[in-house]
Amino acid sequence: DADVTQTPRNRITKTGKRIMLECSQTKGHDRMYWYRQDPGLGLRLIYYSFDVKDINKGEISDGYSVSRQAQAKFSLSLESAIPNQTALYFCATSDTGTSGTGELFFGEGSRLTVL
Amino acid sequence: EDQVTQSPEALRLQEGESSSLNCSYTVSGLRGLFWYRQDPGKGPEFLFTLYSAGEEKEKERLKATLTKKESFLHITAPKPEDSATYLCAVRVSGSARQLTFGSGTQLTVLP
């Protein structure tokens, strides 16, 4: 089983619908992240959390919200999806002790299409 | 504004044909430069961290180097299994340890 699991892996939805992407990890890491990947734009940070009580906005948080339900679970919500939120979404984790190395552990991604 | 630019966008090599990928950056206060590999349909996988100009790291056929303005990922005698997208990222002072990624170089190694 993967250390960082994202569900669903693929989702097609319509404009205006509420969508939740879920992430769970078995690595025991305290830090969790949500990134968005678009062709030609690289990975951009949406939200990050350093522990259960800590939530921070990233570079492109508008239109998104997150919830850290437990150390191992971090979910991303689109309250009212719009077509330009069509992208590949990645959850990642890191450990506070090794955060200086820049090593993030990524899930396999959730491809979201908003029609 | 911090910027990370990777070139070329795509590179096709014959097996055994060595080459280099470039990551140039314009940031205030570099605190680390990182290389990742991403296979199709997968999340990025960490390769290297470089902290200061002159530093080098190696792993199998890959060697990463760092100057004050750019980093190179040298690929020596590549094999088809080295085909992937290679991403670089930087961390800058005051960024709460967050990474800024480049858009990647898609490498294809032909047998």
Residue A98 has pLDDT above 80, yes or no: no
Contact: B46, A107; criterion CB under 8 Å: no
Contacts of B59 in chain A (CB under 8 A): none
The three-state DSSP-derived secondary structure of chain B is CCEEEEECCEEEEECCCCEEEEEEEECCCEEEEEEEEECCCCCCEEEEEECCCCCEEEECCEEEEECCCEEEEEECCCCHHHCEEEEEEEEECCCCCCEEECCCEEEEEEC
The mean-pLDDT minimum among A7-11, B6-10, B11-15, B25-29 falls in B25-29
The residue among A51 and A99 whose pLDDT is bigger is A51
The reply to whether residue B43 touches residue A103, judged by beta carbons under 8 angstroms, is no
B95 to chain A, any CB pair closer than 8 A? The answer is: no
The reported pLDDT for the residue numbered A1 is: 61
Q: Which of A29, A34, A43 to mutate to test the interface with B (most CBs of B within 10 A)?
A: A43
Q: Average pLDDT, whole number, for chain A?
A: 92
What SS3 state is found at A49? strand
Q: Which distant-in-sequence residues (6+ apart) come within 8 Å of B3 by Cβ?
A: B25, B26, B27
**pLDDT value at residue A21:** 98
